[in-house]
């Protein structure tokens, strides 16, 4: 009797133990990869939602996207995390070559890792040395978009160089973005500094400030002024013409070609060392995620979901993106496309110049 | 019917033990809220400045102080003149007062785009009448937008004060041979001047803290304000707390100085003026529209009709109905609308609870009356961004500005709205019918029941008004939201910004119409309710 009882107890224990194992396996949460990004990358029709849905099918993991506001705020976020001694994300998505200057010290280096499809990225779109940690996934060429009808109404032809913008005939015809609050604005500042030269840049900015119609706080507000025909020219991306084509206004708009060439914005992702340094499993997952950004699955969605160009050569483009006029890309150094003073210094130079 | 009840003399106040018990609770609640969410954040901000004294006198920040002060002064002066005329003209008609209140809920972004829609290169006025503003993107345009937004609010306050002008005094003066101008100067003016002056102070603070209007219409540096400087120092590129704190402190100096001067004046002239300054929102009303009322209606329309452009925008390829029920948009705007409503209602509940606790503390403990008014007025001089920065500095261990916290957003929005709520509650508080409460108590009613029978009907309208106005303003608020939102907490203004960044201009326009309709409906309903006559006949 006692023996039977002991056997029953042993059986019960075995059953409970296996139940425990099965239940814990069932409730074990999938590994989560935390990703910081800028606000407009998210949302239902953004690239983030698509990447999540597709990547989670393959990785048995969960992506947690955290919006930090504008792209420029990515740096602020990391600084705040550091100050508060709280863990940052595993991966950061949406940095560009200018932000990279500030972030590369915090990035996880690749240490010999060679992401699949990385070799298919043209050399001019690679930021930093190989293995430094910047993985490009899309790019855009900055230019002015012109409303031909509005220009013709003012008897103007599109400007041919940066210096044309300071001529009296272009007074109050164009709108720029504020370099302190907008990435395209900061790119224009770097670009003009690099093209005009260190010595003449302050004078150029001063003249420019008398001529611009407005310095908008963000790209969307600048583009809004252009859409409302308040301004005949707007500092934007080449891909804006694709949008105008889709709206049926492609013939009315024109991409301005500057003889000096055009700056580009390379958007990329990086792994963060502070979070991944001692976590091999998360590091593996982060690498898998970064690699996924270069797959055809993601690259073909870049134009429509992020209004940028895919970085991997040979990616098919949607109709509106085909036939965009070729622009001369401004060649650059290896780290930043516009090597020069740090951006705080550049901003204060600019500020002093326009306040004179 | 006019509001006839007069403030009851202090000697009539008999606060029983039960009331004192409740009073202690309200004082504790109000005091704790003020210390936690206003005092501590501001002290945290001040403590930080010790390390950044040099920044305080940075020439670029000093030049911003100059530009901000000049812009705010011009905006306030013009709004004051226009608002005074509007208030006097609309004082006889409740419906016109309602229209004066509506612009209060319109977001500053819509105001800026309204100026552009009318005066821009392709705006209505240049297209139809050839009238164009050569200075559209300059400080003059900023001042114009501020006047469009603030003059009706000053008019609303003046119209309220006009209702307090005693007719008997005016009739007596006329009987004694006073000319209309003399009656206006010596009787009417003396009754409305304080409401007007405090309105000016409030508008000055709002113009100093102006953000979206300056960014959109200012045309860029050097036409910008300290609020823009705070934003650029903490939200973009690198975190420069020193520059942000220095800008915030200068902003505090600019906004609080006029408030303190006014409070000093009140102190010198006594509590009676303070009470009268916070004029009631009810007045003598007439049902019939006379000739001058139609003229006044035309003047008020100039400050409301311009906003209707958002309904007739021609470049949009999508109708509002298509936006509302579109397959792609419905699933996106509905959750954000729910978040916006949740935030608006939370802010409104907190606003009403805190303002009521402050005002009731003053009623039950007369010694605290002046203090509660001062403390409730104080946030009127503090910008949301400044408070949010202080909030973060004080509570950064627990509240992360990037993690998202609806409570932090609601508290910040509610705090900034407290002075407006005070303005709505104060006149009712100054006329509590203590003798009626005593009578009800002597007939055996419990304290709560006595208050319910004798006071509730008077408070119902103003509480509803304050609730609706706070909720309406909160819907379009972006400063607090931009500090504490997260991916799970995306209200409509943020969704709009996200769509704008993705070329979804038509959908973003749909949101602006939705916000406009919801906010104005909330304010219209609440204000109409608040403006109803509040007298009850007792058998």
Per-residue pLDDT tens for B171-212? Answer: 888 888 888 888 888 888 888 887 888 889 889 988 998 888
Cis status, amide bond into A179, omega within 30 of 0: no
Asked whether the beta carbons of residue A69 and residue B237 sit closer than 8 angstroms, the reply is: no
Pick the CATH number of A31-139+265-310 from 3.30.559.10, 3.40.190.10, 2.40.30.70, 2.60.40.420: 3.40.190.10
pTM over 0.90: no
Asked whether the beta carbons of residue B505 and residue A351 sit closer than 8 angstroms, the reply is: no
- pLDDT (average), residues B45-62: 78
Q: How far apart are CA A238 and CA A261, in angstroms?
A: 13
Q: Which of the residues B223, B317, B402 would you substitute to probe the A interface, choosing the one with the greatest number of A C-beta atoms within 10 Å? A: B402
Could you tell me if B26 and B66 lie in one domain?
no
Name which CATH class applies to A140-264+326-354: alpha beta
CB B359 within 8 A of CB B422: yes
Could you tell me if B245 and B356 lie in one domain?
no
Could you tell me if B42 and B61 lie in one domain?
no
Q: How far apart are CA B515 and CA B107, in angstroms?
A: 8
Strand blocks (E) in B185-340: none
Portion 119-158 of A in contact with B at CB < 8 A? none
State which of A141-150, B12-21, B443-452 shows the largest mean pLDDT. Answer: A141-150
Q: How confident is the model at residue B272 (pLDDT cuts 50, 70, 90)?
A: very low
CA nearest to A278, candidates A120, A73, A108, A60: A108
Q: How far apart are CA B135 and CA B132, in angstroms?
A: 9
ipTM of the shown complex: 0.74
Beta-carbon contacts of residue B70 (< 8 Å; ≥ 6 apart): B139
Got the DSSP string for A98-129?
Answer: HHHHHHGGGBPP-TT---TTGGGS-GGG--SS
Residue predicted with more confidence, A10 or A354: A354
Domain count, chain B: 2
Got the DSSP string for A277-342?
Answer: TT-HHHHHHHHHHHHHHTSHHHHTTHHHHHSSEESSTT----GGGTTPPP-PBPP--SS-SS-SS-
Could you tell me if B471 and B360 lie in one domain?
yes
Residue predicted with more confidence, B214 or B131: B214
pLDDT at res. A62: 92
Q: How far apart are CA B138 and CA B224, in angstroms?
A: 10
Could you tell me if B379 and B414 lie in one domain?
yes
Average pLDDT, chain B: 81
pLDDT at res. B348: 95
Which is it for strands A253-255 and A135-147: parallel, antiparallel or unpaired? antiparallel
pLDDT at res. A92: 95
Asked whether the beta carbons of residue A227 and residue B315 sit closer than 8 angstroms, the reply is: yes
Could you tell me if B159 and B125 lie in one domain?
yes
Q: DSSP letter at B313?
A: -
Instruction: State the nearest Cα–Cα gap between B301 and chain A, in angstroms.
Output: 25
Asked whether the beta carbons of residue A181 and residue B232 sit closer than 8 angstroms, the reply is: yes
Q: How far apart are CA B258 and CA B252, in angstroms?
A: 11
pLDDT at res. B342: 93
Residue ending a domain, among B257, B278, B309, is B309
Give the largest CA-CA distance in chain B: 73
Q: Determine, yes or no, domain membership for B6.
A: no
List the beta bridge partners of residue A102. none
pLDDT at res. B81: 97
Q: Which residue of B has its CA nearest to A218?
A: B501
Asked whether the beta carbons of residue A178 and residue B220 sit closer than 8 angstroms, the reply is: yes
Q: How far apart are CA B277 and CA B262, in angstroms?
A: 10
CA nearest to B227, candidates B104, B378, B42, B382: B382
> Is the pLDDT at A18 greater than 60, yes or no?
no
What is the percentage of chain B residues whose pLDDT exceeds 70? 86
Domain that holds residue B37: 11-47+318-539
Residue ending a domain, among B309, B340, B361, is B309
CB B381 within 8 A of CB B205: yes
Asked whether the beta carbons of residue B238 and residue A75 sit closer than 8 angstroms, the reply is: yes
Instruction: Please report how the helices B327-364 and B17-34 are oriented relative to each other, as an axis angle in degrees rounded to 10.
Output: 130
User: Closest to B502 (Cβ–Cβ): which among A40, A214, A224?
Assistant: A40
Portion 43-82 of B in contact with A at CB < 8 A? 60, 63
Same fold flag, A31-139+265-310 and A140-264+326-354: yes
Beta-carbon contacts of residue A125 (< 8 Å; ≥ 6 apart): A136, A139, A264, A266, A311
Q: How far apart are CA B113 and CA A163, in angstroms?
A: 31
Q: How far apart are CA B319 and CA B296, in angstroms?
A: 34
Provide the phi-psi class of B507: left if phi over 0, else alpha when psi is between -120 and 50, else beta: alpha
User: Closest to B120 (Cβ–Cβ): which among A69, A72, A230?
Assistant: A230
Could you tell me if B19 and B61 lie in one domain?
no
Domain locations in chain A? Answer: 31-139+265-310, 140-264+326-354
Could you tell me if B329 and B423 lie in one domain?
yes
Q: Which of the residues A215, A222, A308, A354 would you substitute to probe the B interface, choosing the one with the greatest number of B C-beta atoms within 10 Å? A: A215
Determine how many CB atoms are found less than 10 A away from the CB of residue B256. 17
Q: DSSP letter at B39?
A: I
How many residue contacts between A and B have a Cβ separation below 8 Å?
A: 130
**Burial (Cβ within 10 Å: 0-12, 13-18, ≥19) of residue A234:** buried
> Is the pLDDT at A31 greater than 90, yes or no?
no
Residue ending a domain, among B252, B277, B309, is B309
pLDDT digits (tens, 9 = 90+) for B276-300: 433 444 444 556 777 888 888 899 9
């Amino acid at each position: 009797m006692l023996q039977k009882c002991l056997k029953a107890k042993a059986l019960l224990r075995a059953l409970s133990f296996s139940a425990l194992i099965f239940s814990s396996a069932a409730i074990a949460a999938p590994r989560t990869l935390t990703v910081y990004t800028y606000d407009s990358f998210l949302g239902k029709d953004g690239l983030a939602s698509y990447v999540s849905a597709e990547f989670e099918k393959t990785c048995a993991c969960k992506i947690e996207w955290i919006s930090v506001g504008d792209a420029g705020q990515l740096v602020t976020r990391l600084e705040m995390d550091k100050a508060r001694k709280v863990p940052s994300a595993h991966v950061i998505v949406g940095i560009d070559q200018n932000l990279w200057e500030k972030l590369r010290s915090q990035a996880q280096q690749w240490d010999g890792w060679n992401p699949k499809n990385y070799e298919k990225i043209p050399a001019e779109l690679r930021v930093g040395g190989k293995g430094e940690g910047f993985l490009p996934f899309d790019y855009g060429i900055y230019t002015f978009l012109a409303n031909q009808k509005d220009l013709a109404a003012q008897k103007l032809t599109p400007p041919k160089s940066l210096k044309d913008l300071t001529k009296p005939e272009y007074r109050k015809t164009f709108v720029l973005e504020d370099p302190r609050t907008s990435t395209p604005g900061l790119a224009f500042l770097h670009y003009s500094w690099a093209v005009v030269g260190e010595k003449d840049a302050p004078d150029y900015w001063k003249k420019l400030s008398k001529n611009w119609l407005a310095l908008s706080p963000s790209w969307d507000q600048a583009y809004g002024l252009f859409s409302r025909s308040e301004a005949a020219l707007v500092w934007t991306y080449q891909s804006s013409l694709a949008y105008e084509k889709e709206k049926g206004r492609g013939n009315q708009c024109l991409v301005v070609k500057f003889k000096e060439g055009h700056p580009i914005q390379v958007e990329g992702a990086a792994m963060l060392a502070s979070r991944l340094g001692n976590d091999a499993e998360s590091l593996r997952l982060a690498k898998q995620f970064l690699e996924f950004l270069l797959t055809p699955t993601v690259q073909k969605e870049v134009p429509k979901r992020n209004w940028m160009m895919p970085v991997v050569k040979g990616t098919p483009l949607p109709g509106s993106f085909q036939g965009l006029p070729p622009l001369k890309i401004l060649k650059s150094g290896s780290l930043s496309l516009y090597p020069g003073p740090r951006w705080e210094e550049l901003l204060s130079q600019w500020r002093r110049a326009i306040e004179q | 019917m006019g509001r006839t009840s007069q403030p009851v003399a202090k000697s009539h106040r008999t606060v029983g033990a039960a009331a004192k018990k409740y009073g202690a609770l309200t004082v504790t609640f109000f005091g704790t809220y003020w210390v936690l969410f206003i005092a501590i954040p501001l002290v945290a901000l001040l403590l930080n400045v010790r390390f950044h004294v040099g920044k305080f006198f940075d020439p670029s920040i000093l030049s911003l102080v100059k530009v901000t002060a000049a812009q705010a002064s011009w905006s306030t002066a013009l709004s004051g003149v226009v608002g005074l005329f509007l208030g006097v003209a609309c004082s006889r008609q409740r419906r016109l007062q309602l229209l004066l209140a509506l612009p209060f809920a319109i977001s500053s972004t819509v105001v800026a785009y309204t100026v552009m829609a009318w005066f821009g290169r392709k705006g209505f006025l240049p297209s139809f009448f050839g009238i164009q503003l050569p200075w559209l993107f300059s400080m003059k345009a900023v001042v114009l937008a501020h006047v469009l937004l603030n003059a009706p609010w000053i008019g609303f306050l003046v119209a309220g004060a006009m209702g307090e002008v005693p007719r008997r005094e005016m009739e007596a003066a006329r009987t004694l041979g006073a000319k209309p101008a003399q009656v206006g100067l010596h009787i009417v003016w003396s009754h409305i001047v304080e409401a007007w002056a405090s309105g000016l102070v409030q508008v000055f603070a709002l113009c100093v803290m102006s953000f979206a209007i300056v960014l959109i219409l200012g045309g860029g540096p050097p036409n910008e304000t300290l609020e823009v400087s705070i934003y650029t120092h903490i939200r973009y590129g690198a975190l420069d707390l020193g520059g942000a704190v220095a800008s915030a402190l200068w902003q505090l100096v600019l906004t609080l100085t006029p408030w303190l001067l006014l409070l000093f004046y009140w102190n010198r002239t006594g509590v009676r003026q303070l009470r009268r300054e916070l004029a009631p929102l009810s007045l003598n009303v007439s049902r019939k529209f006379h000739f001058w009322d139609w003229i006044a209606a035309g003047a008020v329309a100039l400050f409301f009709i311009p906003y209707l452009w958002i309904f007739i925008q021609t470049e949009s390829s999508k109708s509002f109905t298509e936006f509302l029920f579109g397959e792609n948009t419905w699933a996106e705007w509905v959750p954000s609308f729910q978040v916006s409503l949740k935030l608006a209602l939370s802010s409104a509940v907190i606003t009403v609870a805190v303002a009521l606790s402050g005002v009731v503390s003053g009623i039950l403990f007369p010694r605290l009356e002046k203090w509660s008014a001062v403390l409730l007025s104080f946030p009127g001089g503090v910008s949301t961004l400044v408070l949010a920065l202080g909030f973060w500095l004080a509570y950064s261990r627990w509240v992360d500005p990037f993690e998202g916290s609806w409570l932090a957003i609601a508290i910040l929005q509610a705090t900034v709205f407290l002075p407006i709520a005070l303005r709505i509650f104060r006149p009712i508080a100054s006329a509590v019918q203590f003798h009626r409460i005593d009578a009800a108590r002597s007939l055996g009613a419990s304290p709560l029941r006595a208050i319910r029978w004798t006071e509730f009907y008077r408070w119902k309208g103003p509480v509803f008004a304050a609730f609706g106005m706070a909720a309406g303003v909160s819907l379009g608020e972006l400063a607090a939201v931009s500090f504490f939102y997260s991916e799970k907490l995306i209200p409509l203004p943020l969704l709009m910004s996200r769509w704008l960044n993705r070329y979804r201009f038509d959908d973003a326009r749909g949101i602006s119409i939705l916000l406009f309709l919801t906010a104005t409906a909330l304010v219209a309903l609440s204000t109409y309710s608040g403006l109803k006559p509040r007298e009850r006949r007792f058998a």
